[in-house]
Amino acid sequence: MYPESIKSLIESFKYLPGIGEKTAERLAFSILELEDEQIELFSSSLVDVKDKVHKCQTCNTLTENDFCYICSDSTRNSKVLCVVEDTKSVFLFEKLGMFNGKYHVLEGLISPLDGVNPEDIGIDKLLDRIQKEKYEEIIFAFKPSIEGETTALYVKKILDGINIKITRLASGVPIGADMEYVDSLTLERALNDRKEIE
């Protein structure tokens, strides 16, 4: 019914997460409105991303080089390591611009129920790195979840006895949230982690 090329473009958009038939159709038609150069760039960057981007050999952050720009930056604090669950988290923190240490990207979080064990998320590489480089603090910056806690506790247990500070992100009521929409687990955590007003 649709011309062939529109049909395959619609199919392509449907590969993407959260994009169903209707949205894919809308997006495919919107391509017809773009300038030729925009389409060329779109088309080539799709292929480039897969061809050029890979993991940093040290920390697993996505990069086009052997080592990412953070690992290559000697002005950064190499005493603090922030462990995250995916590359996107690195870019989130970098955008924030408040953290000046190093990162380590795991390949997800431990989740025995889903069959994801420590060896599946590259824990060995992290432990190697911690043992080789002399960090003073390891920050676990995972999303607050059972998987996040499990992963943090697992690493903490292995590092037991080593003189290193191990921390996690604070969790609690988000800034600007209405109290009535905060779920009970978050509220419980916010209460337990309450801080003295100074």
| 143: contact with its own copies by CB under 8 A | no
Cβ closest to its own copies, residue 31 vs residue 158: 31
Least distance from its own copies to the Cβ atom of residue 116, Å: 16
Count the site residues for its own copies by CB under 8 A: 50
The binder of its own copies chosen from 20, 47, 163, 184 (CB under 8 A): 47
Q: Is 102 helix (H, G, I), strand (E, B) or coil?
A: strand
* Interface positions, 57-86, toward its own copies (CB under 8 A): 62-64
Q: Reduced to 3 DSSP states, what percent helix, strand and coil does the chain have, rounded to the nearest 5?
A: 45, 10, 40
Determine the Cα–Cα distance for residues 186 and 142; give it in Å rounded to an integer: 15
Cβ closest to its own copies, residue 32 vs residue 179: 32
For residue 168, give the H/E element and its range: strand 165-168
| 95: contact with its own copies by CB under 8 A | yes
The binder of its own copies chosen from 66, 73, 91, 185 (CB under 8 A): 91
Closest CA to 173 of 158, 188, 157: 188
Cβ closest to its own copies, residue 43 vs residue 131: 43
Least distance from its own copies to the Cβ atom of residue 167, Å: 24
| 37: contact with its own copies by CB under 8 A | no
**Contact call for residues 173 and 186 (beta carbons, < 8 A):** yes
Window contacting its own copies (CB under 8 A); options: 23-31, 75-83, 128-136, 167-175: 23-31
Closest CA to 86 of 131, 148, 24: 148
| 114: contact with its own copies by CB under 8 A | no
**Contact call for residues 140 and 168 (beta carbons, < 8 A):** yes
For residue 81, give the H/E element and its range: strand 80-84
**Contact call for residues 79 and 137 (beta carbons, < 8 A):** yes
Applying CB under 8 A, the residues found at the interface with its own copies are: 1-6, 8-9, 11-13, 15-19, 25-32, 34, 36, 38-53, 62-64, 87-88, 91, 94-95
